[in-house]
Amino acid sequence: MKINWGTGIVIAFALFISFILYFIIKVQSNSKYDNELVYEEYYKQDAKFGDEMVRVQNAKDLAEKPKITNDVLGITISFPRVFVPKDIKGKVTFYRPSNKKFDFDVPISITTPQMTIPKDKLLVGRWNINMEWHYQGKAFLTKETIYIQ
């Protein structure tokens, strides 16, 4: 049987579409390839974006900004010395982009200008850190990305 060029193109298209469908089905059915939203309540968070920008700008307007550093002990957060540590309230959210099961929050309740999150609580890899805090009735938001070795 002889195959003409029209039949060859149809066969090629059918094989290509089968190949693509195979990979789509494989990715959708395998839990290894989790394709979930970045945040659980993505649309609610998007609606609060304007308020978030105000808090980020408040943090940028500070003369001395909090510093988030990765050291031997873990993640150290140093607040400016001009702030009274016991008046700083809020939380630090550790967000793991690769797997939401490892996300966690740490409340800010300090008596010294520094707080440390031990390295044993953090897996190796990328962490997005969002520090939402209040001082004297003003809200701040500091964002940082840290890589743990």
> What pLDDT score was predicted for residue 131?
92
Dig out the tokens for 10 from the structure: 């149809």
Residues 67, 142: Cα–Cα separation, whole Å: 9
Residues 60, 50: Cα–Cα separation, whole Å: 15
> What pLDDT score was predicted for residue 111?
87
> What pLDDT score was predicted for residue 129?
92
Beta bridge partners, 132, equal 91, 141
Q: What's the whole-model pTM score?
A: 0.68
The residue behind tokens 């998007």 is 46
The H or E element containing residue 127 is strand 125-135
> What pLDDT score was predicted for residue 35?
56
> What pLDDT score was predicted for residue 20?
96
Rounded to the nearest 10 degrees, how much is the dihedral formed by the CA atoms of 96, 100, 102, 103? 70
> What pLDDT score was predicted for residue 34?
62
Beta bridge partners, 128, equal 95, 145
Q: pLDDT means per 10 residues in the chain (149 residues)?
A: 87 96 85 62 71 89 90 88 90 86 88 88 89 91 89
Residues 146, 126: Cα–Cα separation, whole Å: 6
CA angle 66, 71, 76 (to 5 degrees): 30
3-state secondary structure of 93: strand
Radius of gyration of the chain, Cα coordinates, nearest whole angstrom: 24
The residue behind tokens 């440390």 is 116
> What pLDDT score was predicted for residue 12?
95
